[in-house]
Chains A and B, each alone.
Chain A
Amino acid sequence: MLRVQLAYIDPGSSSYLFQILIASLLAVGVGVRVFWKRISSIARSVFSRGER
């Protein structure tokens, strides 16, 4: 029965629901990238000070 129902969901609708499912994962990805950028920026400023 479920399969029959799903046949009526177009791929676009399914993709819509899939995004909601992976929303947390995507948000965490952004958080990790922002965190990593900050760490590398701090590291760069520390090392450049050391070189001076």
Chain B
Amino acid sequence: MRDGVVAGSFRDPSGFVFERSGQIYRQVNRRYQDSYDLLLSCGLYEALVSRGLIVHHEEVDLAPPDPAIAYRVLRPERIPFISYPYEWSFSQLRDAALLTLEVQEIALAHGMSLHDASAYNVQFRGAKPVLIDTLSFERIRKDEPWIAYGQFCRHFLAPLALMAYRDVRLGSLLRDHIDGIPLDLAALLLPLRARMKPSLLLHLHAHARHQAGTATTKRSSRSFSATAFQGLIESLRTAVKRLQPATSKTQWSSYYSEADHYSDETLRHKQALVEAAIDYVAPETVWDLGANTGRFARLAAKRDISAICFDSDHGSVEESYRRAVELDEHNITSLICDLTNPSPSLGWAHKERLSLIDRGPADLVLALALIHHLAIGNNVPLGDIACFLHLISRYLFIEFVPKTDPKVAVLLSVRDDIFEDYTIAGFENAFAHWFDQVETKELADSQRTLHLMRSRRPRGSEAVGF
């Protein structure tokens, strides 16, 4: 791998992404010169940027990593956090699909076409999806079908249909199939009633059946008209738009709105303490772990700080995302993440898609009302929790929930208390190995405490203690 080259872009012969001095760049290769020039000269790039559909970039005078094949070096707008489709809720994946189709439609009007429709080419700027691959366009091939059609169906339509007709949790299948869910698998898993939808019957079931063995190896001499192309995009858009998640509301998504375990005073006090921690650290990025619907992360987002909410509950992430879209909140991104099994490194040589740890550390990590779920609900030792949080944070603001708290009592009511170390002293001792204490506050009208800590050792300077 060339020095600094971002592994996720190695497949594309048109160019690649590289990092230098903490800044992301994209080398455009000579073989993409004609398409790149056309993208700019035909007005497509301008049309997409003005609508906020693609990241903007500027050409820079920088020595390219591979000068023998280089045509241009671009500095694209930086996305605060790279997320992956298996971390998105239903509506996020659906909006990414609709963005891809909208971009394709505009490209067609400019005589160009997307030559791939990878969900990984879409990222979220806050709650807004945006295409990040400037090199995805080519001059339209007259009378030929959409080269990216199969990929669109695997990356978007198949997972969305499964999430709509079976269960939203099936979006995680994208983690196993990083080039999208095979259509025969999707067709097998979908219920019979999905076949009643003509667009799904066509683009998933008939498509899968054709792939399975009714094809011929010869290219058909018949052409694909512009009207058929238009029909294809309209048909895919109809298919995507008509899909709805089976159900979104869960016990967690209504955790705060129906909360009976917090008094108003406690909530207000907790909010004030979070705000004080944010103001003290003055971070550029905040990760809120176990964020639920993002109540506390929004305190950072309102300060123009990029806030990423992580929660394992699809309903909570979906609700947080929809709210951000409705209220046009710019700095908040909500993602699905089970902290007991966070996104791993995936793909070729384990480098195409980064693990959660590799995408950190965040300037400030919030871990509020979380530790009892990890320590008692999932048997993770306090020392291991501290080590993991150290790896992903520069500062940590964490809430300790003691055994005497009603929520911990509920967890312990159905199991033996084997957690002798789960005390405030055990907590402070475990975290002292990885963090310096900055400040500790007691939460009003409760037995909980909130701790602001600074990661002590330089990240990666010593072996991890797991």
Least Cβ–Cβ distance between A39 and chain B, in angstroms: 18
Is A29 a contact partner of B234 (Cβ separation < 8 A)?
yes
Which of A18, A22, A30 is the most central at the interface, judged by chain B CB atoms within 10 Å of its CB?
A18
Contact partners of B206 in chain A: CB under 8 A: 18, 22
1/0 per residue, CB under 8 A from A, across B131-167: the answer is 0000000000000011101110110000000000000
B215 interface neighbour in A14, A27, A33, Cβ under 8 Å: A14
- Contact A11:B213 (CB < 8 A) given known A17-B219, A26-B231: no
1/0 per residue, CB under 8 A from A, across B198-230: the answer is 000010001100110101110110111101111
Contact partners of B219 in chain A: CB under 8 A: 16-17
- Contact A26:B232 (CB < 8 A) given known A11-B182, A16-B145: yes
Is B234 a contact partner of A15 (Cβ separation < 8 A)?
no
**Which DSSP category, helix, strand, loop or mixed, fits chain B's interface?**
helix
Is B153 a contact partner of A15 (Cβ separation < 8 A)?
yes
Is B154 a contact partner of A17 (Cβ separation < 8 A)?
no
- Contact A19:B213 (CB < 8 A) given known A11-B182, A12-B150: no
Is B150 a contact partner of A17 (Cβ separation < 8 A)?
no
Is A11 a contact partner of B150 (Cβ separation < 8 A)?
yes
Which of B153, B202, B206, B232 is the most central at the interface, judged by chain A CB atoms within 10 Å of its CB?
B232
Is A30 a contact partner of B234 (Cβ separation < 8 A)?
yes
Total interface residues in chain B, CB < 8 Å: 33
B220 interface neighbour in A3, A17, A33, Cβ under 8 Å: A17
| B446 contacts the other chain (CB 8 A) | no
| A9 contacts the other chain (CB 8 A) | yes
Is B228 a contact partner of A26 (Cβ separation < 8 A)?
yes
Least Cβ–Cβ distance between A3 and chain B, in angstroms: 6
| A23 contacts the other chain (CB 8 A) | yes
| B452 contacts the other chain (CB 8 A) | no
| A2 contacts the other chain (CB 8 A) | yes
| A6 contacts the other chain (CB 8 A) | yes
Contact partners of B202 in chain A: CB under 8 A: 22, 25
Query: B residues engaging A (CB < 8 A)?
Result: 145-147, 149-151, 153-154, 182-183, 202, 206-207, 210-211, 213, 215-217, 219-220, 222-225, 227-232, 234-235
5 contacts between A and B (CB under 8 A): A2-B213, A14-B215, A18-B150, A18-B210, A25-B202
